[in-house]
Amino acid sequence: FSRFSCFICHEMVLLDNSNFILRLEKIANAAKKDSSFTLTFKRYDGNDKPVPREGRPPLPKPETYMCLMRAQSKSQKISTVVRQEDVPAMMSMYSQFMKSKMDGLKRVKKVKSKAKATKG
């Protein structure tokens, strides 16, 4: 039973765009305390099958490509597919998320070089 439950926890969950952002916020809040999370963007053509071997008919080319967004933190993995017409709405939700979660960054102090100090 424990092997089966462990298998389920590593499974990728495909969500719609708004639920993806909500779950991403939960992952970011959990990761803020003691870990980190990664977010990846990938061009997606809608084919879930591997590229066929030589001599076999190729996979059909899509009319438009989509974007596959994946987030991973420890054992949680979530993903969503963003269609071309949904990109502006998704990017605005994603930018709001980034603005709200980037409060832990430290400001880098600039070091003045001697050349700039003598010039001005």
The token pair that represents 96 in the structure block: 């709001």
Average pLDDT of the segment spanning 50-54 = 86
> How high is the pLDDT of residue 96?
93
Strand partners, 43: 67
With CA atoms as reference, report the closest residue to 80 among 94, 91, 95, 69: 69
Q: Is the pLDDT of residue 70 over 90?
A: yes
Q: Exposed (0-12), middle (13-18) or buried (19+): which is 52, by Cβ within 10 Å?
A: exposed
Is-above-0.75 flag for pTM? no
Q: Average pLDDT for residues 98-109, to the nearest whole number?
A: 78
Where exactly are the structural domains of the chain? Answer: 1-48+59-91
Are the C-beta atoms of 70 and 77 separated by less than 8 Å?
yes
Confidence band (pLDDT; 50, 70, 90) for 117?
low
- With 90 as the cut, is the pLDDT of residue 30 above it? no
In sequence order, what are the residues at sequence separation of 6 or more whose Cβ sits closer than 8 angstroms to the Cβ of residue 19? 80
Residue 3 has pLDDT above 50, yes or no: no
pLDDT for residue 5 is more than 60: no
Burial track 88-105 (b if 16+ CB lie within 10 A, e otherwise): eebeebbeebeeebeeee
Structural tokens at position 66: 């989509």
**pLDDT value, residue 120:** 54
Report the CATH fold assignment for 1-48+59-91: 3.30.720
Residue, of 73 and 7, whose pLDDT is higher: 73
Beta-bridged to residue 79, according to DSSP, are: 14, 70
pLDDT of residue 115: 64
